[in-house]
Chains A and B, each alone.
Chain A
Amino acid sequence: MSLLENIGSAVIKLIKSFTDIINFAWKILIRIFNRNTYTSAMRTVLIDQIYFTSVQILPIFLITSIAFGSLLIGVLFLQLKQLGLTQYFGHVLMGLIVTEFSPFVTVLLITLRSGSAINTEIAVMKVNKEMSALEAFRIDVINYLMVPRVINGVISIVLLSTLFSVVLLGSGILFSGLIFGMSIDAYSNVLLNSANFSDIVIALLKSVVFGFFIILIPVRFGLQASHELTSIPIVVSRGMVNVFAAILTIEVLSLIIKLF
């Protein structure tokens, strides 16, 4: 095969994979907005999933956000002071930390913990013929398994990235006092003056899109497992690589939207 053919087949593969994900996303979206999807069984799965993703992770998530957030805020404030850019610290906090950094770190943590787990779980269910068992009992696999997981992704990312922002802004109180000698009232004033409504809306929308895709992609790849155990690591690694590609793509797209 010539180089050109190789490039061509790689591009076709990429386009096929992309359209496959978009088609699947459309299918899930339709079900999310359908009232009949929300059966008692589906709601039970949704509550379980939110517990696994958002509640069980809380201790680790809080420790990470306090340690990592404080370190970042401390370094950032020191740099601003040294560069004589103290007056911009409010904009840096709201524009960089709240709208960019919090969703990004949250999505990385959730992808590593829950994205990989869901990818494996779906693949194992496929290998064990559990999907066929559900179908044999006329249980819609998309409604029962996929939709609650995707909704959970959206809810968890929005809530956890908000929590991450709150923790970071909280540690900002401490460092603004230590580095700039600022009172809590002055700090709150600076934050409120720097808060831009459109930035917050974009941050929320970004969290929603992140949450949707970082669960949808592992689910989709988990479904591609065959009935052999050896297919599990293959679909999990493919799924995770694609999730990271999606995270980068969403980041770039949100930056482009912000520019315009």
Chain B
Amino acid sequence: MIEVSQLVKKYGDFTALHGISFSAKKGEIIGLLGPNGAGKTTTMKILSAFMPSTSGTTKVAGFDVFDDPMEVKKRVGYLPETPPLYTDFRVKEYLEFVAGIKHLAGSRLKERYEFVIEHCGLRDRQQSVINNLSKGFKQRVGIAQAIIHDPEVVILDEPTVGLDPVQIVEIRNLIKNLGSNHTVILSTHILPEVTMTCNHVVMINRGKVLADGSVESLTQGKGESLEEAYLRIITQDAHVVETANKGDS
């Protein structure tokens, strides 16, 4: 469903991604982990065909994001870190507009609209102006727009930020449900969440993949929690860089 190979992204002199490779099958929920500035958002922007990579290939649902961006865009739902909301609009108007630009119409639109309203818990907020919604509800509207067209791949950049514990559980269940017939990529800093939802973890730091596998394979089956594994892997990486720098000077 997703194949990323040797992805490099340079912003001027700064290299954000140094050849990232990973892949995901249909029905997998991938947790993209890493410290701030590791390249998670950059990877997601490339996967959603928002921006091109400097080199390397990315295939989503069998289409290359560079050669066939339109086909990729039809099959991807993307929630960026800041939900892309028209704050003057009412929830219903906004979601219907998004459905329109995703080419939904008629009974299909109604059906999908009902689905996201139900599953994102927006039933009572359909007529609210988005600007007046709380952060958590804005986030739900953001998730709703990412899944309204029933995309094969759902990309969520920190989907549970700003939600209260009850909402987090709801959204987590929603993501789990999505995972049954979609491929979901999500990034988060809340590691227990990854243990609970994701069946595949890709850990990146400074634009490199440090670990790629199931949660069990990363925790080495030693009863280590994901948090401990994360700290171990990130510290190891920092140590490697330190010694490499010493070697240079």
**Chain B associates with chain A:** no
Residues of B within 8 A of A (CB): none
Residues of A within 8 A of B (CB): none
